[in-house]
Chain A
Amino acid sequence: MTEQEESHTIAVLVENEPGVLARVIGLFSGRGYNIDSLTVAEVDPQQGRSRINIVARGTPQVIEQIKALLAKLVPVHHVVDLTLDGAYVERELALIKVTGDREKLVQALRIADFMHARLVDSTTESFVFEITGAPNQIDSFIHLMEPLGLVEVSRAGVVAIARGPGGLESGEPPLA
């Protein structure tokens, strides 16, 4: 087994009950695993199910452990490793605030336009942009804003979904 660290995007369908997020996070903190991003929201109010999207980093052995441990949690329905399962779409939303003189703001607006970021708040000395895209697109937008008076970044974290017709529950559970 290689010792090279990899980044994996893992989708977890859970019962929406108190403490479920603490169980997932505790699993990472208790064993010293790294989370790059974690998002959670209810996705099926009728059945009371939430989806947690996790971007985790580790050796293949650690990634396998993470998936097995997630699947072992009692309120977990399903664990899918999107990175292993083929093509998937990954998106993130960010709100980005820049302040500065008119000249810098105009420049920021031009870049925002080019990168499909929307202006959602403006004052005479500040702009707030909303941008949605792949995480690396957001990284580059933030990078471009840095010299133009970047003061604050708020990112939603990664949400992801597999390409093609299959739903989450049609995937194979890990280690079956």
Chain B
Amino acid sequence: MSATKMMPSAEVQPQTMTGSEVVLRALVEQGVEVVFGYPGGAVLPLYDAFFKQNSIRHILVRHEQGAVHAAEGYARSTGKVGVVLVTSGPGATNTVTGLTDALMDSVPIVCLTGQVPTHMIGNDAFQEADTVGITRPCTKHNYLVKSADDVAKVMHEAFHVARSGRPGPVVIDLPKDVQMSEAPYYSASECVHKTYRPRTEPAADAIERAIDMMAEAKKPIFYVGGGLVNAGDEACMRVTELIQATGFPVTLTLMGLGAYPASDKQFIGMLGMHGTLEANMAMHDCDLMIAIGSRFDDRVTGRLDAFSPDSKKIHIDIDPSSINKNVPVDLPIVADAGKAVDALLQRWWARGLKADRQKLSPWWAEIQGWQARQSYRYKQVGDVIKPQYAIQRLYELTKDRETFITTEVGQHQMWAAQHYLFEKPRYWMTSGGLGTMGYGLPSAMGVQIGNPDALVVGIAGEASWVMNMQEMSTIVQYRLPVKCFILNNSYMGMVRQWQELFHGNRHSESYMDSLPDFVKLAEAFGVVGMRAEKVSELDGMIEEMIAVDRPVIADVVVDRAENVYPMIPAGAAHNEIKLGPNAGDDVEGSEEGMVLV
């Protein structure tokens, strides 16, 4: 069960209470302020314990998937662990998408699930599901607590596992009788784990070798991902220092946006399938790649056998299984990104190294050549709103406030990543690894709970948004002034784009027929609805959306035909990036690319 051993504390007998009370007390000890949940038969004792206390706030969602995404948004925007509470059976199975999302994007979540009483487990009881079996592959770890004696230590262990090392979701399955039995309470300091020891300190000789490689590089690049955001704000600041001390260019992954200030000259944009020309070309042509908290995902690498063929690669990651998984690297450094970067910075200074402008100038000149092509360029002509323009105006009108952005998945997500600029980490919440449509709205809800005074905008496509729109009801209940900024093109835009490029322009089931009238829908939910159909209406609508201190559903009717560029077609290499029809550079789908996702 739990691999935690108890520290002997001879004199003091542990306090006893019910299993549910132990759960609540452990949550308080772990610093939990809010739980996203939905009650049901197998968690009634836990909900009863919630009723009798005031220290933890419970947010009643409308669907368990929404609870997990809300907890993800909360966790990613605050750096704390997100907590979910659901019932057995369907309650637990509804969390699977959210848990998988959190696993792929390394979000610390503790998900408490109710279970039928221990004596009924295995009997196909009402609302019974093999929760630990189902969630084993989509969690970092999970527990079925069969004895009330184990509740306290499993709770503490779960939080430790969720937030340390490479963070991730942890499920604790609590049978109803365990919640009701008498149980001892142990504090976190009494529990020491027997096996789980993630490595955080970098090896000194590896740091020295990394500095050697950095000192020699003529065409270096930093390739930084979401792992750095997880390492914390301090780690991001240290990386910024290191990058500025070296004078090297830096590109960020989708998950890494905000880890380095977007306005800085050394930032050459996001890389990958819809990244900038300069970032992708620089990755392809570099002679030294320094990957920090990034995992060489297929959306980033493109065709693997043509990925950055002439570079030496340094990979800093806390997860040893991320190293050499897709791309073999020359120097792996298994460590916490913050600690590794700190060590690099110390040694860089100690060895008297400086940014060698002269040596790097031919490399920067090449990069500036690519930058001059303006790969994110689009043309706003006529009355019809281009989706990129809508994002750009949103950015201009919100950049001076504390603004958090969440997205759903698809074209709007890529346009948001391209045209909304982030100066600081934790202000950008998107489903990167799993690509979960329906992530953005509940996630925005969680962000607003964690940051009550900030402006929270959920940039969405209409197709994704309706996937979890029941959460509008939660948003209303808790008076969360979340702004839903829907780029409505009446299509599953990214599906349509791929059908156009790879499937002979046959729009098979990608048109969103019978959409609701979003303004009337807003009225039905009791929130503010607004719409912009012309360029001239856009700024006014955005300003009104910001000004109103209530939840808003903003229906931005955009050009239906627009596609996301630049694009590295699936199965192509970085240097085969296409700038799109505006630049007279169309994508031609390949047979090999068609089988890829």
A residues engaging B (CB < 8 A)? 1, 15, 17-19, 22-23, 26, 30, 61, 64-65, 68-69, 71-72, 74-77, 174-176
Q: Which residues of B contact A65 (CB under 8 A)?
A: 321, 324-325
Within the complex, which residue of B136, B161, B199 is in contact with A22, where a contact is CB–CB below 8 Å? Answer: B136
8 tightest CB-CB pairs across the interface, nearest first?
A68-B321, A74-B141, A68-B320, A175-B320, A15-B3, A69-B321, A74-B196, A77-B195
Cβ contact within 8 Å between A74 and B199: no
CA distance A151 to B278 in the complex (A): 67
Cβ contact within 8 Å between A15 and B195: yes
Cβ contact within 8 Å between A72 and B132: no
Query: Counting chain B CB atoms within 10 Å of each CB, which of A23, A69, A74, A174 scores highest?
Result: A74
B10 interface hit (Cβ, 8 Å)? no
Cβ contact within 8 Å between B194 and A15: yes
Interface residues contributed by chain B, number (CB under 8 Å) = 25
Contacts A/B (CB < 8 Å), 25 sampled: A15-B3, A15-B194, A15-B195, A17-B3, A18-B144, A19-B144, A23-B136, A26-B136, A61-B325, A61-B328, A65-B324, A68-B321, A71-B320, A72-B319, A72-B321, A74-B3, A74-B141, A74-B195, A75-B195, A174-B320, A175-B320, A175-B332, A175-B334, A176-B199, A176-B203
B596 interface hit (Cβ, 8 Å)? no
Within the complex, which residue of B140, B144, B323 is in contact with A74, where a contact is CB–CB below 8 Å? Answer: B140
Cβ contact within 8 Å between A175 and B195: no
CB distance from B284 to the nearest CB of A (A): 20
Write the B430-464 contact mask toward A (1 if CB under 8 angstroms, else 0). Answer: 00000000000000000000000000000000000
B1 interface hit (Cβ, 8 Å)? yes
Q: Which residues of B contact A61 (CB under 8 A)?
A: 324-325, 328
Contacts A15-B194, A61-B328, A71-B321 aside, 8 further interface pairs with beta carbons under 8 A come to A17-B1, A17-B2, A17-B3, A19-B132, A64-B324, A72-B320, A175-B332, A176-B334
CB distance from A152 to the nearest CB of B (A): 32
B residues engaging A (CB < 8 A)? 1-3, 132-133, 136-137, 140-141, 144, 161, 194-196, 199, 203, 319-321, 323-325, 328, 332, 334
Q: Which residues of A contact B3 (CB under 8 A)?
A: 15, 17, 74-75
Cβ contact within 8 Å between A18 and B1: yes
Minimum CB distance partner of A72 in chain B: B321
CA distance A120 to B96 in the complex (A): 51
Minimum CB distance partner of A78 in chain B: B195
Minimum CB distance partner of A76 in chain B: B195
CB distance from B327 to the nearest CB of A (A): 10
CA distance A64 to B140 in the complex (A): 20
CB distance from A89 to the nearest CB of B (A): 26
Minimum CB distance partner of A175 in chain B: B320
CA distance A101 to B2 in the complex (A): 56
**A22 and B194 in contact (CB under 8 A), knowing A17-B3, A69-B321?**
no
CA distance A76 to B197 in the complex (A): 10
CB distance from A133 to the nearest CB of B (A): 34
Q: Which residues of B contact A71 (CB under 8 A)?
A: 320-321
CB distance from B201 to the nearest CB of A (A): 11
Q: Which residues of A contact B136 (CB under 8 A)?
A: 19, 22-23, 26
Q: Which residues of B contact A19 (CB under 8 A)?
A: 132, 136, 144
CA distance A174 to B325 in the complex (A): 14
Cβ contact within 8 Å between B321 and A74: no
Q: Which residues of A contact B319 (CB under 8 A)?
A: 72
CA distance A72 to B166 in the complex (A): 10
Query: Counting chain A CB atoms within 10 Å of each CB, which of B140, B195, B196 scores highest?
Result: B195
CB distance from A59 to the nearest CB of B (A): 11
Q: Which residues of A contact B320 (CB under 8 A)?
A: 68, 71-72, 174-175
Q: Which residues of B contact A17 (CB under 8 A)?
A: 1-3
Q: Which residues of B contact A175 (CB under 8 A)?
A: 320, 323, 332, 334
CA distance A156 to B199 in the complex (A): 36
CA distance A141 to B334 in the complex (A): 46
